[in-house]
Amino acid sequence: MKINPKLKKDLKSFLLENIQKEQNRVLVMSADALESDEKKILSKKFSDLNWNEADFQVDKSIIAGIIIKVGSKTIDLSLMGSLSKLSNTLYEID
Protein backbone atom coordinates (compact mmCIF):
# COMPACT_ATOMS: atom_id res chain seq x y z
CA MET A 1 0.00 0.00 0.00
CA LYS A 2 1.42 3.33 -1.07
CA ILE A 3 0.88 6.45 1.05
CA ASN A 4 0.05 9.72 -0.63
CA PRO A 5 3.22 11.92 -0.38
CA LYS A 6 1.19 15.04 0.48
CA LEU A 7 -0.65 13.19 3.24
CA LYS A 8 2.67 11.87 4.55
CA LYS A 9 4.15 15.39 4.55
CA ASP A 10 1.10 16.88 6.28
CA LEU A 11 1.10 14.15 8.91
CA LYS A 12 4.81 14.64 9.57
CA SER A 13 4.32 18.41 9.99
CA PHE A 14 1.37 17.85 12.31
CA LEU A 15 3.30 15.38 14.47
CA LEU A 16 6.39 17.58 14.66
CA GLU A 17 4.26 20.56 15.68
CA ASN A 18 2.56 18.53 18.42
CA ILE A 19 5.90 17.21 19.69
CA GLN A 20 7.24 20.77 19.86
CA LYS A 21 4.17 21.94 21.79
CA GLU A 22 4.46 19.03 24.22
CA GLN A 23 8.16 19.71 24.81
CA ASN A 24 7.33 23.29 25.79
CA ARG A 25 4.29 22.41 27.90
CA VAL A 26 4.71 23.59 31.48
CA LEU A 27 3.08 21.94 34.49
CA VAL A 28 3.45 23.58 37.90
CA MET A 29 2.45 21.54 40.94
CA SER A 30 2.31 23.25 44.32
CA ALA A 31 1.33 22.11 47.79
CA ASP A 32 -1.23 24.92 48.05
CA ALA A 33 -3.04 26.97 45.43
CA LEU A 34 -0.87 29.78 44.12
CA GLU A 35 -2.10 33.37 44.27
CA SER A 36 -2.87 35.05 40.95
CA ASP A 37 0.17 37.35 41.24
CA GLU A 38 2.44 34.32 41.83
CA LYS A 39 0.98 32.65 38.73
CA LYS A 40 1.56 35.84 36.71
CA ILE A 41 5.21 36.03 37.81
CA LEU A 42 5.82 32.38 36.91
CA SER A 43 3.98 32.71 33.59
CA LYS A 44 6.11 35.76 32.71
CA LYS A 45 9.31 33.81 33.45
CA PHE A 46 8.07 30.87 31.37
CA SER A 47 7.25 33.22 28.51
CA ASP A 48 10.79 34.67 28.69
CA LEU A 49 12.11 31.10 28.29
CA ASN A 50 9.82 30.48 25.27
CA TRP A 51 7.78 27.93 27.19
CA ASN A 52 4.03 27.65 26.67
CA GLU A 53 1.51 28.84 29.21
CA ALA A 54 1.58 26.88 32.42
CA ASP A 55 -1.00 24.54 33.85
CA PHE A 56 -1.20 24.93 37.61
CA GLN A 57 -2.19 22.02 39.86
CA VAL A 58 -2.34 21.48 43.60
CA ASP A 59 -0.71 18.33 45.00
CA LYS A 60 -0.78 18.17 48.80
CA SER A 61 1.60 15.18 48.80
CA ILE A 62 4.59 17.41 48.03
CA ILE A 63 4.08 19.02 51.49
CA ALA A 64 5.59 22.41 50.54
CA GLY A 65 7.24 24.08 47.56
CA ILE A 66 6.67 23.50 43.85
CA ILE A 67 7.53 21.05 41.09
CA ILE A 68 7.91 22.39 37.55
CA LYS A 69 7.73 19.98 34.61
CA VAL A 70 8.65 21.04 31.10
CA GLY A 71 8.50 18.28 28.53
CA SER A 72 10.61 15.47 29.95
CA LYS A 73 12.50 17.72 32.40
CA THR A 74 11.51 18.14 36.05
CA ILE A 75 12.62 20.84 38.48
CA ASP A 76 11.72 19.59 41.95
CA LEU A 77 11.74 22.34 44.57
CA SER A 78 9.37 20.52 46.91
CA LEU A 79 9.92 19.47 50.50
CA MET A 80 8.94 15.89 49.61
CA GLY A 81 11.58 15.86 46.85
CA SER A 82 14.24 17.17 49.23
CA LEU A 83 13.34 14.60 51.88
CA SER A 84 13.43 11.84 49.28
CA LYS A 85 16.90 12.93 48.11
CA LEU A 86 18.11 13.06 51.71
CA SER A 87 16.72 9.58 52.37
CA ASN A 88 18.44 8.20 49.26
CA THR A 89 21.73 9.80 50.32
CA LEU A 90 21.50 8.28 53.80
CA TYR A 91 20.86 4.81 52.38
CA GLU A 92 23.83 5.18 49.99
CA ILE A 93 26.17 5.85 52.93
CA ASP A 94 25.24 2.54 54.57
- The DSSP secondary structure of the chain, one letter per residue, reads -PPPHHHHHHHHHHHHHHHHHHHT-EEEEESSPPPHHHHHHHHHHHHHTTPPPEEEEE-GGG-SEEEEEETTEEEEEEHHHHHHHHHHHHHHH-
pLDDT at position 28, please? 95
Amino acid at 6: K
Task: Say whether pTM exceeds 0.75.
Answer: no
Sequence length of the chain is 94
Percentage of the chain lying above the pLDDT 70 cut = 99
The yes-or-no verdict on residue 93 having pLDDT over 80 is no
9: Cα within 13 Å, side-chain hemisphere: 3
What digits encode the pLDDT tens for the residues 5-32? 888 888 888 888 877 777 778 999 999 9
pLDDT at position 82, please? 93
